[in-house]
Amino acid sequence: MNYAPTTPFGKDNYPKVGYVPAKVALASQNKENASASSILLLTHDTTEIEVAASGQNVAGKWLTQAVIDSSVAGTSVLTGAGTTNYDFTIGNNTVRRFIVPVATFSQSSGSVQGVNREYGLYPAVAFKTFAGTGSVLTGQF
């Protein structure tokens, strides 16, 4: 399955290694003082996110629709000492890019829908700083 934006190529037809896809963000969010877990709903076309951590290390957790609909969604990310419920981390003053993983196998019906839903990708991600407050800036691609 090939659903994420491609690596850009130069005029010489060689890949531009280390470059992000030449694509404008579908949505962006700046979560200030992210000491509490917060949920970012992904657009129907989001296949990739770029996350910047400022002021603190950040933990992230991919969320299924079932978790979003439940009352535990807000506690799905690192919630206290000794708790390790996260999928990835981003170091302070670091920017990382992630391909949205597949949550459920989806057989495309050919209906009009965004690629995120068509391929059964995770529809949301939650973020929380490790300790204290900091900012989490996110772009969706």
List the chain domain ranges: 27-140
**Number of H helices and number of E strands within the chain?**
2, 8
Give the phi and the psi of residue 118 in degrees, each rounded to 5: -60, -40
Among 102, 58, 59, residue whose Cα is nearest residue 77: 59
pTM: 0.80
pLDDT digits (tens, 9 = 90+) for 89-98: 999 999 999 9
For the segment 36-84, what is each residue's pLDDT rounded down to a tens digit?
677 899 999 999 999 999 998 988 999 998 888 875 555 555 555 555 6
- Give CATH for domain 27-140: 2.60.120
Q: 122 or 70, which is more confident?
A: 122
